[in-house]
Chains A and B, each alone.
Chain A
Amino acid sequence: MTEREIIRGCLANDRKVQKKLYDLYSPVLMGLCRRYITKKEDAEEILIESFYKIFSNIRQFKGKGSFEGWMKRITVNESLMFLRKKYNFNVGLESSQVDLKTMPAAEQRLFENDILQLLDHLPTGYRTIFNLYVIEGYTHREVAEKLNISINTSKSQLIHAKRRLRELIKKNEPAIAC
């Protein structure tokens, strides 16, 4: 089934096609949610809300860009909305004492999970900006607009996030062999 056929099926509210789309992209979008949201249950809730928005607004996808990119944007926005409700991004730099003893001594096959856990140890503001800038590829201006913070706050929080991550990696060198 091609992407176009899937979109057409979703436009017709065909539940089987919707399931097909869900099966194809739910691991990708769930992975994306988990990068932003630490708790798995919350991430899953956001995934459901994102798919609900994807299905109900699929008419708005004009086929100009990538369909996956469009779905990812919806999911990122949903994750940010969730975080905005829970946290205030205007608080500036966050401080958190990371308990490194809780870090798992994982094997190489668990590498991605380890990194994710490493990211989970970052304060929410650092993690969100790191995700948006480094992984999603947004500019500082876009990050600032999305989080309703200044560009300088976005830049400084990214520097702190990177510094914190380096520290965590250094202290967990045997577990996370990059």
Chain B
Amino acid sequence: MLNMGKDIENIRAHLRYYREDPSEKSWSNLVRRLDQDKGKIKLSIVIRYFSIAASIVLLLGLMTWFLIYSGNDTKSWEEKLSIAGYNPEFTVYQHVPKINAWYVLHDWSRIYEGDIHKHFIVTENQSDDQRYEYLQEKGDSVRQ
């Protein structure tokens, strides 16, 4: 590498402190640039507030819809079963007593839950003694 000679050192010394005035319009251009940015910031703040407000309205709407329709369940259990496509796995835990009654009504005694439910429905409104007698008549297997 060459040593920094006198000439180069002189150039360095002079250019290090070299100054030049920009044109007069450069400040106004800079101000315009800064103002443009300010406008963008304002717009982004407005958009942010609008999106927050829209989210709140949407949330309130969903909550209202949920409160109105969730507590007003007017469909019969037969309708619900038909919506569920008669799938016992879907409805059995919610509607076990009703399904059992339905099974008994149509005499589908061995479809899913088995005889025990049928017998339970039959004895549902009986006293423990009456139920015991009924179950004894049907045999021990029913009690399992």
Binding site for B on A (CB under 8 A): 15, 18-19, 22, 26-28, 30-32, 34-35, 44, 47-48, 51-52, 55-56, 111-112, 115-116, 118-119, 131, 134-135, 155, 158-159, 162-163, 165-166, 169, 178
Contacts and interface: CB of A to CB of B under 8 A. Distances in A.
B4 interface: yes
Contacts of B16: 135
**B interface residue count range (under 10 / 10 to 19 / 20 to 34 / 35 or more):** 20 to 34
B126 interface: no
B31 interface: yes
A15 B22 contact: no
Contact of B4 (A52, A56, A119, A134): A134
B22 A162 contact: no
Interface stretch (B7-15, B52-60, B66-74, B82-90): B7-15
B1 interface: yes
Contacts of B20: 27, 30-31, 34
A116 B7 CA distance: 14
23 contacts: A15-B31, A22-B27, A26-B26, A27-B22, A28-B19, A30-B21, A31-B18, A44-B22, A48-B33, A52-B30, A55-B34, A112-B18, A115-B14, A116-B15, A118-B11, A119-B11, A119-B15, A134-B8, A134-B11, A163-B2, A165-B7, A165-B8, A178-B6
Given A47-B26, A48-B30, A166 B18 contact: no
A47 B18 CA distance: 15
B37 interface: yes
Interface of B: 1-2, 4-8, 10-12, 14-23, 26-27, 29-31, 33-34, 37
A79 B12 CA distance: 19
Contacts of A118: 11
Most buried by A among B2, B15, B19: B15
B19 A22 contact: no
B22 A30 contact: yes
Given A116-B18, A178-B10, 13 more contacts: A26-B27, A31-B17, A35-B18, A44-B23, A47-B22, A52-B33, A112-B18, A119-B11, A134-B4, A134-B12, A162-B5, A165-B7, A178-B7
